[in-house]
Amino acid sequence: MRKLLFSLAIMIGVVFTSTADEGMWMLQLLKQQKLSEMHALGLKLEDYDIYNPDGASIKDAVVQFGRGCTGEVISSQGLVLTNHHCGFGQIQQHSSLGNNYLDDGFWAMRQEDELPNPGLTVTFIDQIEEVTAWVKECLVRDRERDKEGIFYLSPAYLNGLAREKAGEQFLNDHPGTEVEIKPFFEGNQYYMFTKKVYSDIRLVGAPPSAIGKFGADTDNWMWPRHTGDFSLFRIYADKEGNPAAFSTSNVPLKPKRWLTISTRGVEEDDFAMILGFPGTTHKYYTSWEVAERRDIDNSVRIRMREVRQDALLEEMLHDPAVKIQYASKYAGSTNAYKNAIGTSWAIDMHNFEQVKRDQQNRLAEWADRKNKPQYTDALKEIECIVKERADLRYRSWMLNEAVNRGVEFSTIPTAIAEHLVKALEDDDQAEAEKLLVQLESAYHQFADKDYNPGVDRKVSKKMIAAYMQAVPEEHYPGAFHLIASDFEGDSDRFVDFLFDQSLFGSEENFRRAVSGATLIESLRNDPMFLFAKSVRDEAASLRAQLASYDVPLSLARRTFMEGMLAMDEPYTHFPDANLTLRISYGKVKGYQPRDGVVYKHQTTIEGVMEKEDPDNWEFVVPEKLKALYSTGDFGPYAMPDGKLPIAFAATTHTTGGNSGSPVMNGAGELIGLNFDRNWEGVGGDIQYLPDYQRSIIVDIRYVLFVIDKFAGAKHLVEEMELR
């Protein structure tokens, strides 16, 4: 019997050996982990060509764009390519009804026309260093300070160690340099990243949304795809090449490395690799966490976002100004919504719960043979915690999705009003005047150019009604009980009352209240303030109750991962994504999503014209693009058959954060720009699906065509190195 169990464990173990295309691997470990497999698939480079700690390499051309996307440097003048949706917020901020860059696109024909973007950063990774042993020594050293035993995962503590290791003098001598230590495998390993952060980043070019967002929400997470999802920015530095705040005296950065571009195109089964900053994966979920993700997190998100998106879209289609105001908010909502749907589908279709149970059984059998009961105990602890916190987690997700995210006025700032009341009661005129200015500033930050009180009123009615149907009355935030006691259960009347009576309900309300003789009472009894405070109190209560599980769960997961790493050979596993630089690789390849349906690896402009619908804002095709299509004027960017390529699919393992990642061929040349995944493959955040998971990539030839032939910005193409 014991021999049989051992044989089964070996068989099960095969399931968890990474497939050739699976993984988000650390660059500095390529030679030990995946280089030979990559060579077998078609890589022509060595590991030091990709990551070289002692010299320039491809790594030096790949940047973190903002704090959640990837970009790549594609010219000697600091030109950065990323996704349209990664630059969407900046494009939106520069847009107005008079200069609608979302609808019309934007192209700087001279460098002095490039638009600055306060708050936007581009980050290079200068060095990656393993510091596991040193961090563990420091954890022992600082044990008395670590009262709750959480320093091993604490960003504040770990980044303090990073500054300690780098030295304040080094940081002072290198402007724009930041250091960070991140935990891997739940705190079983640590790496330190030395970064160079540039903050003068200017918008250079963006296609109209009819190209950059073609297909919009209908096509999001879908293949085949026909979207030119790209935008261009430029990094500026001081005259010495150092990071510097925006200044007209700054100059384009002279980078250490930039990518060359291949216009030869791709064929099915060609090698492809991606470098980028993937955000979050859950490869090492247990079976109980998989079920929790499907039955609570995803379920709530899907239900509540459907309500919000339907209400928002109705308003956006009714008014072009509202469409501009809410375009980014709507896109952000639908992105996570579709991800939740696809993840739950994959969990059920591919029986992820059983896959993870097999993983747990394999570890338990090994732990039994090795007399290491701590690993089995860790699994039991995880199971117990997940079951115990279920009700609290459901209530927290409902409050967050339906109210905190769905009701914009739930986020209004209340603290300033409370301080102002106290100052007025104390007859502290100077303090009151200062706080009144702050309150007005807070109002205008809330009711900014992307806020519409009429839209918020309508959407909030839908969201509050949906929340009340889904949560037991005894768990409502306190203010919700007024709906029954004062409004006969009519939540719509309640919302109207809030907007009609609150200082933050309108500019007119605000002016009337602050100039009135009863300001103290207005502030103290403001119904919208009381609502927001009530929601925050409930959210804080839920967070506090859930937080009691955080430390024991983290400790149990650390022990679980320690067991996984001890059980398997060194370098077998890749760590979950955590916004650190990774490489993934695979092949250009289509797939078969279901019986009788086959998707090819490449799409062309023919598909754009097939999808065109002038009455549907998601599928409007610009007149100039139609004219270029009708004449076949594709320049040197057409395929051998004369068609213009749009996008292709590859088996590379990606997730959020890989948006904008460069896709390269075996020679390290840029062939495309990652921008999405297919709906059938989003479950790969939990378990890679080789037959289904595909990265969706805009073909670099389409990018060049749009810049050159559509936009007439050939000067930008001339900056690049084409092969």
Active centre residues (catalytic): 85, 229, 659
Spatial contact of 463 and 307, defined as CB atoms under 8 Å apart? yes
The closest alpha carbon to 536, from 637, 720, 409, 379, belongs to: 409
| Token output for 228 | 């030119």
Residue with tokens 């929601």: 535
Say how far apart CA 456 and CA 262 lie, in whole Å.
Answer: 47
Q: Which structure tokens are listed for 229?
A: 């999802």
Helices then strands, each counted (H, E), the chain: 30, 21
Residue 237 bridge partners (DSSP): 251
Q: E strands within 389-532?
A: none
Tell me the two tokens of residue 218.
Answer: 């209908």
Q: Are the C-beta atoms of residues 182 and 191 closer than 8 Å to each other?
A: yes
* CB 343 within 8 Å of CB 682: yes
**Exposed, middle or buried: residue 258 (CB in 10 Å: 0-12, 13-18, 19+)?**
buried
Angstrom distance (rounded) from CA 79 to CA 412 = 39
Q: Hey, is 176 helix, strand or coil?
A: coil
Q: CA 105 to CA 103: how far, in whole Å?
A: 6
Burial class (CB in 10 A: 0-12, 13-18, 19+), 390: middle
The tokens 């919302």 sit on which residue? 495
For 345: left if phi > 0, alpha if psi spans -120 to 50, otherwise beta; the answer is alpha
Nearest CA among 607, 698, 686, 581 for reference residue 650: 698
Task: Report the first-to-last Cα separation within the chain, whole angstroms.
Answer: 62
- C-alpha distances in angstroms, 504 versus 442, 501, 524? 10, 9, 13
| Distance from the Cα of residue 34 to its chain's centroid | 26
Displacement of CA 342 from its chain's centroid (Å): 16
Q: Which residues pair with 645 in a beta bridge?
A: 604
Nearest residue to 86 (alpha-carbon basis) of 446, 335, 281? 335
Among 387, 165, 170, which Cα is nearest to 287's? 387
Q: Provide the residue count of the chain.
A: 723
The one-character DSSP state at 471 is S
Please check whether residue 208 is in contact with residue 105, taking contact to mean a CB–CB distance below 8 angstroms: yes
CB-CB contact of 301 with 397 (8 Å):
yes
| 7 CB-near residues (< 8 Å, 6+ apart) | none
Q: At what angle do helices 299-318 and 390-398 cross, to 10 degrees?
A: 0
Residue 385 token pair = 């915690």
Cα–Cα distance, 648 to 712 (Å, whole number): 25
